Chain A
Amino acid sequence: ETGVTQSPTHLIKTRGQQVTLRCSSQSGHNTVSWYQQALGQGPQFIFQYYREEENGRGNFPPRFSGLQFPNYSSELNVNALELDDSALYLCASSLVDRPRDTGELFFGEGSRLTVL
């Protein structure tokens, strides 16, 4: 048990729709990051939030956005869904000394998104 929980666990959307995924971080952690894991691949870094501000982003378009709240929860929003967005979305939290660090990540079990 990492103390990181995600919801929903599974969901199905159609192309063009919007989706919001939620994550509750481990208490005391000051960063949350999101990763996309396509089937048979390693996770890919979407972005990281440090103390409620985005402070790092991978190679993902602006239609991927997020929020981090003071109560350790966070959201990942994806607009204009495409078929290739079908994947497992993993949330991870960590405690870092500097915003440029990634730290030791504790992952949730993920939200599996299917786009039809």
Chain B
Amino acid sequence: AQKVTQAQTEISVVEKEDVTLDCVYETRDTTYYLFWYKQPPSGELVFLIRRNSFDEQNEISGRYSWNFQKSTSSFNFTITASQVVDSAVYFCALSVPGSGGGADGLTFGKGTHLIIQP
């Protein structure tokens, strides 16, 4: 069974500070995918990134960066120079190829509510 843990339920920082959201995952599969999604108050989950288990290169996209470490089963997300518009709930998720030919969907963590204060 898969599991994703986001230990930080809520983080509050002042605008322009850097902030890191933690994600720890559990799976016995060697092939898997990790995701981050952003959920603003409107409810729609906005895709941010997908990484496969064979690619441990860290990634940077503008103010966003991701640190994938298989040794610690972590996939952490950092926002540099945070802005008020970054305020949202952020979810880390895990998927593995389904067994028996079917799909098992995404396993989500409980989310981290990020509050950026002006």
User: Which positions in A face B, CB cutoff 8 Å?
Assistant: 2, 31, 33, 35, 40-45, 47-48, 50, 55-58, 88, 90, 92, 96, 98-102, 104-110, 112
| Cβ of B77 under 8 Å from chain A | no
0/1 string, B39-56, CB within 8 A of A gives 1:
000111111001000000
A42-B108, A102-B33 known; A56 vs B103 contact (CB < 8 Å) = yes
| Cβ of B84 under 8 Å from chain A | no
Q: Which B residues are in CB contact (< 8 Å) with A98? A: 97
Interface residues on B, range: 20 to 34
Residue of B nearest to A56 (CB): B103
Query: Which of B43, B105, B110, B111 is A56 in contact with, Cβ under 8 Å?
Result: B105
0/1 string, B103-118, CB within 8 A of A gives 1:
1111111110000000
A108–B45 Cα distance when bound, in Å, is 7
User: Which positions in B face A, CB cutoff 8 Å?
Assistant: 4, 33, 35, 37, 42-47, 50, 91, 93, 95, 97-99, 101-111
Q: Which A residues are in CB contact (< 8 Å) with B106? A: 35, 43, 45, 102, 105
The distance from the CB of B24 to the nearest CB of chain A, in whole angstroms, is: 14
Contact present for A104 and B50 (CB under 8 Å)? yes
A45-B105, A56-B103, A102-B103 known; A88 vs B43 contact (CB < 8 Å) = yes
